Structure 1
Amino acid sequence: MRPRRLRRTQWLAGSAVALALLCAGAATVATARGGGSEPAAVSAPAPRTPSADSADAGFAREMAVHHQQAVEMSFVVRDRTTDEDVRRLAYDIANTQANQRGMLLGWLDLWELPKTAPDGQEPMAWMSGHEDHGGPEGHGGGTAGFEARDGALMPGMATRTEMRQLGAAEGRKAEVLFLQLMTDHHQGGVVMAEGCAGLCAVPAEKRLAQGMVEAQRSELDLMADMLAERGSAPRP
Structure 2
Amino acid sequence: MRHLGWIAGGAAAVLVAAGAITYAVADGDDPGTRAPAADSADAGFARDMAVHHQQAVEMSYIVRDRTRNTEVRRLAYDIAQTQANQRGMLLGWLDLWELPKVSADAPMTWMGMGDMASDKDGSLMPGMATNTEMKRLGTLDGKQAEVFYLQLMTDHHKGGIHMAEGCVEKCTVGVEKRLAQGMVASQQSELDLMAGLLEQRGAKARD
Return the TM-score normalized by structure 2.
Answer: 0.86
Partner of 2:57: 71
Deviations 1:61-99 (A, max 9, x none): 010000000000000000000000000000000000000
Residues 1:234 and 1:109: Cα distance change in structure 2 (over 3 Å):
same
2:92 maps to 1:96: no
Deviations 1:184-217 (A, max 9, x none): 0000000000000000000000000000000000
Note the aligned Cα RMSD (angstroms).
2.0
Residue 187 of structure 1 aligns to a residue whose secondary structure is helix
The one-letter amino acid of 1:88's match is R
Partner of 1:197: 168
- The Cα of 1:128 is off from its aligned counterpart by 1.3
Equivalent in 52, 59, 67 of residue 45 of structure 2: 59
Give the share of equivalent positions with the same residue, in percent: 64
Residues 1:182 and 1:25: Cα distance change in structure 2 (over 3 Å):
closer
2:149 maps to 1:145: no
Deviations 1:164-200 (A, max 9, x none): 0000000000000000000000000000000000000
Residues 1:211 and 1:32: Cα distance change in structure 2 (over 3 Å):
farther
* Total equivalences in the alignment: 188
* Distance (whole Å) between structure 2 residues aligned to residue 48 and residue 233 of structure 1: 46
Partner of 2:69: 83
- The Cα of 1:34 is off from its aligned counterpart by 2.3
Equivalent in 167, 170, 173 of residue 141 of structure 2: 170
Return the TM-score normalized by structure 1.
Answer: 0.76
Displacement over 3 Å in runs of 4+: 24-28, 143-146
Residues 1:128 and 1:88: Cα distance change in structure 2 (over 3 Å):
same
- The Cα of 1:150 is off from its aligned counterpart by 0.6
Structure with higher Rg: it is 1
* Distance (whole Å) between structure 1 residues aligned to residue 48 and residue 194 of structure 2: 24
* Distance (whole Å) between structure 2 residues aligned to residue 194 and residue 220 of structure 1: 16
Partner of 1:221: 192
Compare relative contact order (CA 8 Å, sep 6+) and give the higher one, 1 or 2: 2
> What are the ranges of 5 or more consecutive residues in structure 2 without an aligned counterpart?
1-19
